[in-house]
Structure 1
């Protein structure tokens, strides 16, 4: 069957299987050239097997929870939304979460996801106690920061290329409520935005939306949203009556793919202008639900269809702290000069990071969405060159078109990873379309 990631680009033929038992999972692994797939929210081709794609959604049981330590033992096919639904009413929330809750435990570990709190708490790997990984023989091996450390180090962030993550133990954060105290600050340009991030490094969460088509002294104008978990004392009478209110299903849906001409430089520029003005009205402090703060796009079912049938690509780089300011100026300048604006442009501050092939490094990460077209593919190649010029690297969970040469130039760990996979006989059993494209 034809399968794609969340971006809808590219799509590839693959054999899709959905095992319901360990025995069936072993059989799927023995087919070779396979990769695990959770809920299909990786944007590109990292969860599409070059031969077989193993849908892990039937491994969807939560096994045990320690209410003293917050450690949850779970199968890999459980979604983050399932965990929140089960444990937020008990006063627990994920330590690290990406921008959607509709991702599997196995997927977020394979991508070593980061959140709006990376500058303080780091990536998900800091909150994974252990993993159980099925190798080429079908044997399941437990690994952790102190047991089979090398396997653990490459698996977290390894995009499923070390084996099939079957079970894991992750830690949750105790929270008094599900509400977030948000403080909104407007930055008139990218320099002001960086200054605001640095001046508010003590905030638990921070993220900025950027108008990437603004120019001159307004280039990179942004709205920065800082967040803290609200205590019971922070709540008003209305929110105190439902301190752990769960999310409601998205009320809005995109029922069909938009025509390709809808998203153009004029509509994106108009959207950015209106969105910026709307966010400016929210300056100051307010209480937001956890769902609205962490997962605003989840409120629109099928939002990826906005980009049309050709789909979209995301460009996400991370830039070293010392060169971030200069690099961001050049990236935003390149985007505005071409008129190929990003519908969604997000900036976050990263802290220090360890890990075999994890994406973050201390500095800033910029994520940009572009509809698929020849023009935007050319633009993204130019953005690759700027990122390389400043010593940055790229997020494999969002990648759909990077070259092997670009990856090797941006991250010398990729060669070590490929060598380790070959030495351990993993490269012929676990392969994705992405890993073949990138020479991993």
Structure 2
């Protein structure tokens, strides 16, 4: 029998103090490989897959799905052959390392390599990882019989949790024995469909405020009552932008990426930030300084089943248009899958919110904390417009820029928005002259 080691919940990013166990991916008795995700933990920022720190067996869960676990508290116990755990250190639970980046997606080659390694015996034992929670040896306990893990994608696991469905009791019908969304809904139907005779005439539903929604609410209140917000608007002809989108889609180098109007809006913002660097800054009240950032960490607001998240693309100003399209596509996919890591949402400097996808013309957004401006991109609609001295039907949109009036005055905000509008009106011409 191997050595049993307790794994404590690490700090999953930016000083978070707790996390809720969303789903166990490996049951007690199940074999695990180093860096194989074994549990999903929902924090105030993201749904994070926590990787195993060992090769071995998961011996015990210390919390059930739905339980909240404090950082530094026992999460699971592993049984590892030949492990020599460190002796317990005083206050070890208080020094759990900050593992920003947990939950980030692996690249496809790494995933394929890990799957191949899982299929056969390792040539030599793998040393235990060092980036783990505080470790404490525990006394041996009878081993549970290994149980095959339930296969289901994270959104399906989240749905099962919301509906109160035990995935282990669901008969999978998806490919390779995977539990599908339809399987979960079918399992929940008998238990959740209320009897008409018993249904109350009125009533109410109470939804706990937690996770992403709780953190978003706290941040928005803090921002709204800290930074003096001001907003300017610009209605402009973006027929040229729509024509450029169609041209880019037909080009070979863009064949494998998604080209949308939002891509050109993002490029316009990055070029305008180069012209007006004060927009990419924040007000440091404690230091009494305005901090101008050289890198534009471009945030893209994404509506997800867990609430609004704003992950960002680091140093987006250094990316080509194709690279920017790839980064935006990956960012949106990761956010919708609930896989954005805490580090992926930290450090934003400028954000874009696309309300046009909902058919909305414009809005007055609240600044993400630590940022001085956010651009609103509204719906693009065919409308009558004066073009070259005549009335014509053109593609029209309304842009909005909300900014922190402590460091961005009305003139700077207007100049920045005018430059974004000029790029979208004539993207081909301005792209050549500004870059």
Alignment TM-score > 0.5, same fold: no
TM-score (norm 1): 0.26
Q: RCO (CA 8 Å, sep 6+): is it higher in 1 or 2?
A: 1
TM-score (norm 2): 0.26
Q: Which has the larger radius of gyration?
A: 2
